[in-house]
Structure 1
């Protein structure tokens, strides 16, 4: 009998703890937020590029990517996204440690398509 009560209590706690306090948590937002350099891209660059593309660049990197203007310039001429889209091992593929996840590349592409928003 004790085991049944304990089991019933645990099952009740398990299912009772799954609640929905707000339906907005379950739906896509009505107005998606724009991708910006400060909110999204800066961290991608910091985590994956600034190891070499700092100022001054190291490890043979030909240019820095340490500011919004420098990243935007490389994105505007198509070089940033082209390097990210190359497969690991291809010449000029970036980062050299391995291709970024497709979702990250898509976010950079969305930032470019939306006009290089800074904030």
Structure 2
């Protein structure tokens, strides 16, 4: 009898352990609900996201028919302010990058950076 009760208990504890050990912060970006969120900066947080996901097309010069470069803080800021960068990275129908949306934590970090006034 104990043997039959032990198996479900072990499976249940294993499932809880696996579920609790995963994290949505795998790309190292500070999520917006982090208490230290005001420390999101272009240099520390946003530039690595852009370099990893955008500059293969939005480099200097842009390739693959990309309309602008995203290699500097000013260019990224301008893209947010006048080229709907936030709309494109959050789009489910026409996302940037075109091979799939950025992770939620990256999109949230970019939004937090914008909300904080584009700190360098």
Per the normalisation by structure 2, the TM-score is: 0.67
Per the normalisation by structure 1, the TM-score is: 0.67
Unaligned runs of 5+ in 1: 1-30
Q: How far did 1:101 drift?
A: 1.0
Structure 2 counterparts to residues 30-41 of structure 1, below 5 A: 32=36, 33-41=38-46
Q: Secondary structure at the match of 2:39?
A: coil
Structure 2 counterparts to residues 52-67 of structure 1, below 5 A: 52-67=57-72
Higher relative contact order (CA 8 A, sep 6+): 2
Number of aligned pairs?
A: 85
Name which one, 1 or 2, has greater alpha-carbon Rg. Answer: 1
CA RMSD of aligned residues (A): 1.4
Distance 2:82 2:112 in 1: 15
Distance 2:114 2:83 in 1: 9
Question: Are the structure 2 counterparts of residues 70 and 42 from structure 1 closer, same or farther at C-alpha, using a change threshold of 3 Å?
Answer: same
Unaligned runs of 5+ in 2: 1-34
TM superposition outliers: structure 1 runs of 4+ over 4 Å: none
